[in-house]
Amino acid sequence: MKRTFLVALLAGLVSITSTGVAHATTDLTAGHVDVVWVDYQSGAFVVKVNDDTAAPAPPVLRDPSDVVLHATNLTAQTRPAGSAYDFLGPAGGTVWRLPQTSDATKLWPGWNTEELTTGVFANNKITLEFAKVSGSGDFNIYSVSPLGAVSKLVDTGDANPDVVTVGVDKHVHANWVFEDDGDYVIAVTVRGTLAGTSTVVSAGPFNYAFHVG
């Protein structure tokens, strides 16, 4: 069985397996990132992290396993008031929120299907299924409309499937929220039904590491 040891190396991390091969990871703490970037090539999904945190430099596509996404202490806030936010835990509690709108001091996460063309998938849509693999608190994604309406997209604290339907050629940002600090692993599975068939194409689950706090 392989044993993995984590050691600090400069600004990143290096994972060293029993084979002696070092595997560097990149820490993303602020700026724009498409956490789930999806393409479709040669009959298969390609899923990457689109790291745009160094803009205006060109973005870099990274494997999900090569990245640690951070919700730093700057993202900590009191849970928003109102019953629409009850899925985020008790009123007055602390949550760590990566924002729907850009904030230069925080990571700005989203998903991106702009590489997917129309006519390939049924109804020009695919799905992203989220699951919490590990972490001390619940994980949530929600959006707020210009008029203030709250739409819950993901809530690992309830029994409902955490499946988000996404149109092709879309670039979407929402609020990503953690109800406790610490380390999390969030898995994402991508699925789509090929247009005019019953054939389902899937990829994943891909594990995404988050450090909160």
- pLDDT single digits (tens) 167-212: 999 999 999 999 999 999 999 999 999 999 999 999 999 999 999 9
Instruction: Provide the mean pLDDT of the chain.
Output: 90
Tokens (6 digits) for 193: 């039904």
Predicted model pTM: 0.88
Q: Above 80 in pLDDT, residue 1?
A: no
**Selection from 161, 208, 38 nearest residue 111 by Cα:** 38
pLDDT at 122 over 90: yes
Residues in Cβ contact with 51 at an 8 Å cutoff, skipping those fewer than 6 apart: 26, 28, 33, 59, 60, 61, 62, 67
Confidence of residue 24 (pLDDT cuts 50, 70, 90): low
Q: What count of residues does the chain have?
A: 213
User: Is 6's pLDDT higher than 80?
Assistant: no
Contact 27, 70 (CB under 8 A): yes
pLDDT at 22: 40
* Structure token pair of residue 187: 């898995």
pLDDT of residue 182: 98
Distance CA 188, CA 128 (A): 6
The pLDDT of residue 178: 98
pLDDT surpasses 50 at 50: yes
Q: Is the pLDDT of residue 131 over 80?
A: yes
**Per-residue pLDDT band at 114 (split at 50, 70, 90):** very high
Residue, of 65 and 6, whose pLDDT is higher: 65
pLDDT bin (cut points 50, 70, 90) of residue 9 is: very low
Average pLDDT over residues 123-143: 97
Domain ranges of the chain: 27-212
Averaged pLDDT for residues 21-25: 56
Q: Report the candidate in 168, 170, 157 with the shortest Cα–Cα distance to residue 195.
A: 168
Gap between the Cα atoms of 87 and 67, Å rounded: 28
Beta bridge mates, 112: 37, 171
The per-residue pLDDT for 142 is 98
Which of the two residues, 11 and 148, has the higher pLDDT score? 148
Query: Looking at the predicted structure, is the pLDDT value of residue 12 above 60?
Result: no
